[in-house]
Structure 1
């Protein structure tokens, strides 16, 4: 019987993962989703990598998902002329307009509205917070004078964070719109939007998807701004998943606040029944080392115990020396902790009587019953994937086996905790269909004789309506 981890692994593509055989080994080791980082993406290269992943899915009979991650409004300084070091108390002028080579006195900033948006007393953070400046004054047009609070080497093209500033830039830049349209043309499974602050950011991206695609592409809101944490309820209403992007978040808010924000966001996602990804520096030392630190092992394990659907690797797989080994190590951590009784899922039953209330209630009770009767699997027939999202969020101890004739959602569902999807297009009668899918699950090694399985279906099946039926079956030898 295959041991299948339930928590999903998202791996970022990059120079270290350019060969098909490396991608194959990574899928074998436990990758569920490949992330395309559009901060560093060449379109031809992306197209080639997407084709490789789809070829591997066909060859390996897997459903590895593809996540397009848009850069968002990334603020950066320009190129420096040689080695530049700034010291506390120094003053430096940030200049917009035409790019030029920077010095310890003047440096180019790629954000044209910067002098209009910042105010005296606000902080400017550079290079993930390694350098800190305070705004002294702005001329409101093209220059901002700042004082160095925390000094060090000022390097070329480093990112800028403005934690106290109300930035007028939209979350979707011109580059993002172009990248989103390209990603939609490739029919990616998920799109992540960086630096989300308001629900309107997500509505704008949804409009682009609707304009360029006949199919729904779910959106992940990356939470990395304090405004996003404050507006989380409205953001959750307009997205299909969350990412706790701890890198920029840990610069935008004090780093010591991030652990509790992570827990808060995971809890909020669980209540909304949407997946949540924990990202940044999970196995950072494995970029150059074959062994993670004990703290990193704990971090990955604690993210699972918080209730994350997926954990993400960035530099570890994009530029690291050991892209396959880091997946193997991460998989072993996930498998060792995710079955623990210490993991508590908020058990708040559905009570708001929307048109999907019956389906939600059946999914909730299926998860409870699966734990009660120690069912090996919950199987569901779905056309939209909705029941998979619902059951996954309740974290049953059973595997969640999803059967669908909708090929578009096969790979989308691969991000969801505990979900394994299968293509199935024979819709006969309820009894025949349920026996048929149980037979498939048995042949794939997910069920054995004597196992209990809970089957969810919409009757009549051929109408592909909302789930309204729950059936419990014990697998007998005559059924196989």
Structure 2
């Protein structure tokens, strides 16, 4: 019987996942997508890893997706001269310009417009919010005077968050553009953009992808800024997936607001019928321990029950001691809760009459009809993958089996909840094709003799047009 986990697992690559056998074991335990974190990526290393993953996909007869995750405008302090511990009430200057070693009096900041963008009274957060400063004054040129509100050790190269400041930095930095072009050359399946604030950020990345690739690589918008939450409806119109990046989000907005934002973003993604990934600290203790905390198990389970397409691991698989065991543990949590009838799916049918309204409607009814007649699988033929996105969003009980002759989308679809894709290039008469795809579903153990299936196709088959036909068949 095939692996029946429907929620997808995204695992971040790193030193802990550098050999082929570890990657193979992780795929066997349930990894669906490997993430390249371009904040810490070496191009030669990435090339080898991509090659390894593609080779394993062929060997294991599976389609593993690769997600290139761009760093975005990550603000950081410079190198510290010595160990500095700041106390509440201390005064410290953040300076831009030529880099220098920081002291207890002044620290380098890698963001030239910082003095121009901040205003007195705004907060500066360091090291995931562990340290907190208040801006006292700025000379609008190269120095910002601050007072420590919450103290602690001030370490080299730590990330900076400015929750109240309107930052003038573009979402796509020079490094991001270079990384994106490299990721496109490696034919990644998805590209994620960090610190998205407006729809314009995504349009810029779309233009870059169009200029460097004949294929449209789908974009995931990482939601980690309050502005992104505010502009979410516009952002959703220009991206192909969302990531709830709870690390920076939990620093930029009060941490207690993140759970409801997570639920809201999942709902918005489901309505837009695009996938959503929940990320950050999901199984954090498993970086060093074989057992997750009860709270972590609950967090993963609740993310699945919110309706996430995928749950993501960062340090757990990139630098953790137990990259294979953490996947096994996470897969078990997903499988134990994902079929619960406590999970609510948006039930409103498509109503906006776009040119794809017919396809959307057919997919909506296929998902509901599959539940009504207890069909074991929905088989769809697709060239663009569009129907897979649509059917997956309705979360049917049936397996979603996608057949395509477009190799570029085979692994891409692996991020979508419940979707299993197959390469299929025989587009003959409808009857023959339906029999063919049904027998493939049977061979792979998704259906048994006597089971009902729902087949979706574009008629005539040879035109590869939009889906316009729904057919119920039975496994002979």
Shorter-chain TM-score bucket reads: over 0.9
- d(CA) in 1 for partners of 2:2, 2:426: 25
Aligned to 1:40: 40
Q: Give the superposition deviation at 1:366.
A: 0.3
- The match for 1:79 is 79
Choose 259-268 or 467-476, whichever is displaced more: 467-476
CA RMSD, 1 decimal: 0.5
Q: Which residue of 2 aligns with 1:311?
A: 311
CA distance in 2, matches of 1:437, 1:258: 43
Give CA-to-partner distance per residue, 1:177-236, whole Å, 9 cap, x none.
000000001110000000000000000000000000000100000000000000000000
Q: Which residue of 2 aligns with 1:372?
A: 372
Give the drift of 1:258.
0.1
Aligned to 1:231: 231
Residues 256-287 of structure 1, C-alpha deviations (whole Å, 9 max, x = no match): 00000000000000000000000000000000
Deviations 1:300-348 (A, max 9, x none): 0000000000000000000000000000000000000000000010101
Specify the alignment match of 1:416 in structure 2.
Answer: 416
Q: Which residue of 2 aligns with 1:154?
A: 154
- TM (norm. structure 1) is 0.99
Query: Whole-Å Cα distance in 1 between the matches of residues 157 and 320 of structure 2?
Result: 21
> Is the partner of 1:413 in helix, strand or coil?
helix
1:287 aligned to 2:287?
yes
Structure 1, unmatched stretches of 5+, are none
Q: CA deviation at 1:104?
A: 1.0
Structure 1 position 438, deviation (Å) = 0.4
> Counterpart in 2 of 1:405?
405
Q: Deviations over 1:350-392 (max 9, x none)?
A: 0111111110000000000011111110000000000000000
Residue pairs, 1:44-443, within 5 angstroms: 44-443=44-443
Secondary structure, counterpart of 1:374 in structure 2: coil
TM-score w.r.t. length of structure 2: 1.00
- Per-residue deviation, 1:2: 2.2
Q: Measure, in 2, the Cα distance between the counterparts of 1:137 and 1:195.
A: 26
**Unmatched runs of 5 consecutive residues or more in structure 2:** none
Distance 1:429 1:254 in 2: 58
1:3 Cα deviation from its structure 2 partner: 3.7
- Post-superposition Cα deviations, 1:90-142, rounded to whole Å, max 9, x if no partner, equal 00000001111111110000000000000000000000000000000000000
Instruction: Give me the whole-angstrom Cα distance separating, in 1, the residues matched to 2:3 and 2:37.
Output: 30
- What displacement does 1:437 show? 0.5
CA distance in 1, matches of 2:159, 2:3: 42
Using the alignment, how far apart are the partners of 2:102 and 2:466 within structure 1?
61
Q: Secondary structure at the match of 1:360?
A: helix
Whole-angstrom CA distance in 2 between matches of 1:160 and 1:338: 37
User: What secondary structure sits across from 1:110 in the alignment?
Assistant: coil
Matched, 1:7 2:40: no
Q: Tell me, in whole angstroms, the C-alpha distance in 1 between the residues paired with 2:353 and 2:132.
A: 50
Equivalences, count: 476
